[in-house]
Amino acid sequence: MSDNLTREDEMLEWGKHYVMVRPDHFRIDYVINPFMDRRDQPDPQRAHDQFGALVAAIEEAGGRVEVIAQRPDSPDMVYAMNLGLVTVDAQARSQVVLSHMRHPERRQEVVTTHPWFEDRGARSVWVGRDGVGAHFEAGDAFAWGDALVVGYGPRTEELGLKLLAVELGVRVRGVRIAHPGMYHLDLAFCPLDERRAMVCPSAFDEASAAALLALVPEPLVLSEAEAMTFCANSIVIGRTVLMPACPDRVRERLEAWGFEIVLVEVSEFHKGGGSIRCLTNPVDITIGRDLPAVLVPEVVLP
């Protein structure tokens, strides 16, 4: 691995504008991942304080945040990354592929976010709706290299990959998630710049782990123990990495690459199975800049 510092032309262009959901009704009402326990409820005041600190840290790093109110009947809506995949085309027109949640407890979230996105000029795309059609959750999708990298298995269905490719006019590279605690791609994969990303091979089946590592010229390979600290569930704004935790070895590598690490306490949200990336949805991914358009959309599997 090279220790060369990240150059200006290698930094991610996207990830400077986010949508978040204020945690007015955040609680654990049901169990849909290994982190959730109804006996271990988040403290409302601490959750609000941590949310506010995260917004402030994003803004201090040069990012922008828009905040949506939370539905009272949707305790998981705070994990805004999973509301939908927003992209912008070359003419600055935006569209959102709205998530079709695997678990019915979360499906009402898009009832609120659908009109919110449309009011801001985004065209809505559905790969499934109301329990019918393919499941897709946006926490499984990242623009990376020549494609949209999409994790499938626990939450997103393989069928959804083809629909994403066709609707967006892009190449989709699918990787199969096999770890119950890393049920979304954003828990095991974090783009850092155009050459580097954090990757936890333990999250995937053997072929998918090899395929994902092959895509990244300089991967920061995480152990399972490191990934379970939520360190990959981070966001990057320029050279600043906002992280919930940073194991010593990970810190050493990031700093050698020229990144500044800012730790933000979001432990109340870990009780629901999400961290910084889960709480933030980037709305500035641009097709033609961050995600190449292709004449013939395709899906590539390991």
CA distance linking residue 155 with residue 168, whole number of Å = 20
| 125 — pLDDT class (breaks 50, 70, 90) | very high
Confidence check: pLDDT of 47 > 70: yes
H/E stretch holding 132: strand 132-133
Q: What is the pLDDT of residue 257?
A: 97
CA distance linking residue 229 with residue 187, whole number of Å = 10
Confidence check: pLDDT of 150 > 60: yes
Confidence check: pLDDT of 4 > 90: no
Q: What is the pLDDT of residue 109?
A: 96
CA distance linking residue 142 with residue 177, whole number of Å = 14
Which tens digits make up the pLDDT trace of 204-222?
999 999 999 999 999 999 9
Q: What is the pLDDT of residue 2?
A: 45
Which tens digits make up the pLDDT trace of 156-211?
999 999 999 999 999 999 999 999 999 999 999 999 999 999 999 999 999 999 99
Average pLDDT of the chain to the nearest whole number: 96
Residues 37-62 as b or e (16 or more Cβ within 10 Å = b): eeeeebeeeebeebbeebbebbeebe
| 3 — pLDDT class (breaks 50, 70, 90) | low
Pairing state of beta strands 141-144 and 147-152? antiparallel
Mean pLDDT of 277-298: 96
Which tens digits make up the pLDDT trace of 8-21?
889 999 999 999 99
| 1 — pLDDT class (breaks 50, 70, 90) | very low
Is the distance from CB of 170 to CB of 217 less than 8 angstroms? no
CATH superfamily of 8-291: L-arginine/glycine Amidinotransferase; Chain A (3.75.10.10)
Q: What is the pLDDT of residue 5?
A: 78
Q: What is the pLDDT of residue 213?
A: 98
